[in-house]
Structure 1
């Protein structure tokens, strides 16, 4: 068994005070740092949007953040401008031990479709290369953590199952947006229904990932 830790979007704009700050998001950084040495591979996803990305409310006349629109033929929540390419907001959190990350997979780079999952865009039309990378490393089991539980973490964990990995969610290593009350709870239920196992960092450090 070879294991990987997938860090989802641990970027400045998703931390408190950022353009799309997730409440309590900064609390997951120490969890990531503590877990890294327990895994054979550490990979990270990175929201990496062009300035004219279609998920930004500012790019839709008269739209407000939180409105529901359509992008790439799919329903799309409109967000504030965030994680623009080559800006400080798109950089990894300074407290994150980024030197331990073996590979980074940008997502959300196509203006015409969003990409919550670290594996593919929301329409499943273009892969990021994460699945191929993990398979090439011989990884069979992955743990997923990061921001935000009800969007990019959920999509990444569910797609990891679909890609054939055994998947564990590190619950204390995630925080959610909860745009609608109950979104985080529904996201956790959806992950479990897809075959994702739930645990926390303490149990992982004590027992590791077991089939």
Structure 2
């Protein structure tokens, strides 16, 4: 699979300290994808890095809901909400992108989850908010304006932000390729469920070794 720098883009999802082992919401083996993604990024003319950038008291924090524990789910007016340890609080080291990702290769840093009352897994749209809507981040229009037609994804976590970003990218009309070896999941045992959702959206799975620069 040959990379076309003119029409292909790389989306690096949430490669942040808090999602790496030892972080507030560390994903097992997440550190193993850092260097491969950093080496791959310069092969693309367009590289987008997403960054969770939560205010204190964010709706996704278990600590915001007294008596609730991380990794549970609760029902809110807008629908179910997964609860997590406090993570990627704006301005903290945990929210910073891993320094191995080369600044020179990153075209755009997209911060998401910035509103206290709305979670945001996807790079393209926020989760459903109290008003029942999923506001666009504008990323789809930005990529299209740059001539991007195919989007390669890697990062954290496979079963949440990578999954939802991939599905939304397909809805936006992009050809979507998830680089399976450059992702890791919070709940690896849910792999089959995630794979079915990706396939239903038309997203393909590949490995980075298949790419020809």
State the TM bucket, normalised to the shorter chain. Answer: over 0.9
Give the C-alpha shift of residue 121 in structure 1: 0.8
How far residue 89 of structure 1 moved from its aligned partner, in angstroms, is 0.3
CA shift in 2, pair 1:84/1:71, >3 Å: farther
1:195 to 181, 184, 202: 202
- Kindly indicate whether residue 144 of structure 2 is the aligned counterpart of residue 135 of structure 1: yes
Aligned match for 1:77, one of 74, 79, 82: 82
Is 1:170 equivalent to 2:175 in the alignment?
no
Q: Which moved more, 1:40-49 or 1:15-24?
A: 40-49
- Tell me whether 109-118 or 32-41 shows the greater mean CA deviation: 32-41
TM-score (norm 1): 0.92
2:51 match: secondary structure:
strand
After TM superposition, the score normalised by the length of structure 2 is 0.91
How big is each residue's C-alpha offset from its partner over 1:66-125, in whole Å with a ceiling of 9 and x where there is no partner?
121134512011100000001100000122223310001111111111111011111252
Partner of 1:184: 191
The structure 2 residue matched to 1:152, chosen from 151, 161, 178, is 161
Q: Pairwise CA RMSD of aligned residues?
A: 1.4
Q: Does 1:16 align with 2:25?
A: no
- Deviation per residue, 1:156-178 (Å, 9 max, x gap): 00000000000100011100000
Tell me, yes or no, if the aligned pair for 1:117 and 1:156 is still in contact at 8 Å. Answer: yes
Runs of 4+ in 1 over 4 A off after TM superposition: none
Task: Identify the residue that residue 58 of structure 2 maps to in structure 1.
Answer: 53
1:26-69 deviation per Cα after TM superposition (whole angstroms, max 9, x unaligned) = 11111211211222210111111000101100011111111211
Among 89, 92, 99, the residue aligned to 1:94? 99
Where structure 2 has 5 or more consecutive residues not aligned to the other structure, the ranges are: 1-5
Unaligned runs of 5+ in 1: none
Secondary structure of the 1:164 match is: coil
